[in-house]
Amino acid sequence: MSNSSPGQSGAGDSGEQSWPEYLTGAESRGAAAAAEGSVPPEGRAAPHRVIGTPAPAAARTLLADAGDAGDSGEKPVREMPAGPPDPIRAKKAERIVVACFLLAMLAGFGFLVAYGTIGVGTITKTLHSNLALGATLSLVFLLLGIGAVIWVRHLMPEVELTEQRHPMRSTPQEREAFKGTFEEGAETSQFVKRPMVRRSLIAATLPLAVAPIFLLRDLGPLPGTSLDTTAWRKGLRLLVYGTGRPITPAEFSSPGAIVSVGPEGFLNDDDAMAKAAVIIIKFRPGQLQFTSANHAVANKVVENWTVNDIVAYSKICTHVGCPAALYEQTTHHILCPCHQSTFDATQGARVIFGPATRPLPQLPIGVDSEGFLIATSDFHEPVGPSFWERS
């Protein structure tokens, strides 16, 4: 008499019995045992029937067993049907999918048009722009999603697959089988067979591919040579920032004083002032130490750029452009508060500390016929951050 459990081989058992077979065998053996007056063996209780448990899905695999094709060299038998079961319903679904993708394309173009035509100069315009951009972009993704769902549900065949675990490393046969399965899947997806669906999907995504190019517009126009020059021109008066008054050397006579000035006619122009802001500093006679020969910038002509020991420097820090207007009277240092670049005002504003790599540009100044301080030219070098490494 065997005392093995289901799935175990024992005397008289093949080890291949299914539960019904096992049950039948157990019952007959139990009946025989009863007839013989013997006790049924331990561990031989009949299995309970579980009500409501669904039948397990048929074990199928996307990757054919390597042994299937390995020896014979034959192509594995395809597992999935090539097309949907109902061609009429599929045709209808195809039309809906194409319509979704084409509408998505139109919505994409709508996004581009809205971006190009609705300005953002005012709060109302910005609201309208955001509404139009958000609505059109949402439509694009919504229609793409709907089209994709209908495609999958109604154009692809519905097959239940159970993928068994495999070792991570694939064999050449498995790779070959995967290739075949991939091609089979591509065919099943109808992507190749239905060019209208394919093309409309590609068309639907085209505006999205182009959209980033339009977004580059937000970076503004190319600067061109605008960073090389400022609003300063020969003859423009230096106006005190805040009051807008011109200033004479006599009014600015106390050594150690510093005043922020801007070019006449541009004080209220923020764009112009972003580059043209200047500080003027009054020194005692003999305090200014730079000449053409010893200037921090080689061969820079500076002798005639000052008036009565008043010197004018760009206020825009050459590191990353903060206003450098903190002035230490005793040391004659100009300090930029952002990253502590320090410039020596007596030596052509050369850098003595900090991350800036070149001196503050100097503005050539003189006086006009009425005795007011004026610029005698624009700066002779670009102001602001040294992005071109002009150290």
Q: Minimum distance from CB of 275 to ligand FES (Å)?
A: 15
Q: Minimum distance from CB of 343 to ligand FES (Å)?
A: 9
Cβ nearer to ligand FES, comparing 166 with 339:
339
Span interacting with ligand FES, options 220-228, 260-268, 350-358, 369-377, rule CB under 6 A = 350-358
Out of 99, 106, 211, 320, the residue judged to bind ligand FES by CB under 6 A: 320
Q: Which residues pair with 323 in a beta bridge?
A: 316
Count of positions on this chain that bind ligand FES (CB under 6 A): 13
Q: Give Cβ neighbours of residue 367 (< 8 Å, ≥ 6 apart).
A: 248, 249, 307, 373, 374
Cβ nearer to ligand FES, comparing 359 with 364:
359
Q: Minimum distance from CB of 323 to ligand FES (Å)?
A: 9
Distance of CA 311 to the CA centre of its chain: 46
Q: Please state, in angstroms and as integers, the Cα–Cα distance from residue 232 to each residue in 28, 114, 312, 345, 383, following that order.
A: 112, 39, 12, 21, 12
Cβ nearer to ligand FES, comparing 239 with 325:
325
Structural tokens at position 337: 């508060």
Cβ nearer to ligand FES, comparing 256 with 321:
321
316: closest CA among 276, 376, 374, 263? 276
Taking the C-alpha atoms of residue 199 and residue 140, their distance in angstroms, rounded to an integer, is 16
Cβ nearer to ligand FES, comparing 105 with 336:
336
Cβ nearer to ligand FES, comparing 135 with 338:
338
Based on the shown chain and the rule CB under 6 A, indicate whether residue 356 belongs to the binding site for ligand FES.
Answer: yes
Taking the C-alpha atoms of residue 355 and residue 335, their distance in angstroms, rounded to an integer, is 12
Which position has the token pair 């609505």?
Answer: 135
Per-position x/- string for 330-349, each x denoting binding to ligand FES as judged by CB under 6 A, each - no binding: ------x-xx-x--------
Q: Minimum distance from CB of 391 to ligand FES (Å)?
A: 14
Go through the chain and tell me how many residues it has: 391
Cβ nearer to ligand FES, comparing 302 with 317:
317
Q: Minimum distance from CB of 384 to ligand FES (Å)?
A: 10
Taking the C-alpha atoms of residue 91 and residue 197, their distance in angstroms, rounded to an integer, is 11
Based on the shown chain and the rule CB under 6 A, indicate whether residue 322 belongs to the binding site for ligand FES.
Answer: yes
Span interacting with ligand FES, options 86-94, 204-212, 271-279, 354-362, rule CB under 6 A = 354-362
Out of 144, 197, 261, 317, the residue judged to bind ligand FES by CB under 6 A: 317
Taking the C-alpha atoms of residue 355 and residue 367, their distance in angstroms, rounded to an integer, is 35
Based on the shown chain and the rule CB under 6 A, indicate whether residue 258 belongs to the binding site for ligand FES.
Answer: no
Q: Give Cβ neighbours of residue 166 (< 8 Å, ≥ 6 apart).
A: 63, 174
Q: Minimum distance from CB of 293 to ligand FES (Å)?
A: 28
Element (H, E) at 280: strand 278-282
Q: Minimum distance from CB of 262 to ligand FES (Å)?
A: 19
Q: Minimum distance from CB of 318 to ligand FES (Å)?
A: 8
Q: Minimum distance from CB of 283 to ligand FES (Å)?
A: 23
Cβ nearer to ligand FES, comparing 40 with 355:
355
**HSE value, Cβ hemisphere, 13 Å, CA-based, for 222:** 2
Cβ nearer to ligand FES, comparing 354 with 366:
354
Per 3-state DSSP, the chain is made up of helix, strand and coil in percentages (nearest 5) of 35, 10, 50
Taking the C-alpha atoms of residue 163 and residue 390, their distance in angstroms, rounded to an integer, is 64
Element (H, E) at 368: none
Distance of CA 4 to the CA centre of its chain: 64
Residues of the shown chain interacting with ligand FES in the complex, contacts defined by CB under 6 A: 317, 319-322, 324, 336, 338-339, 341, 354-356
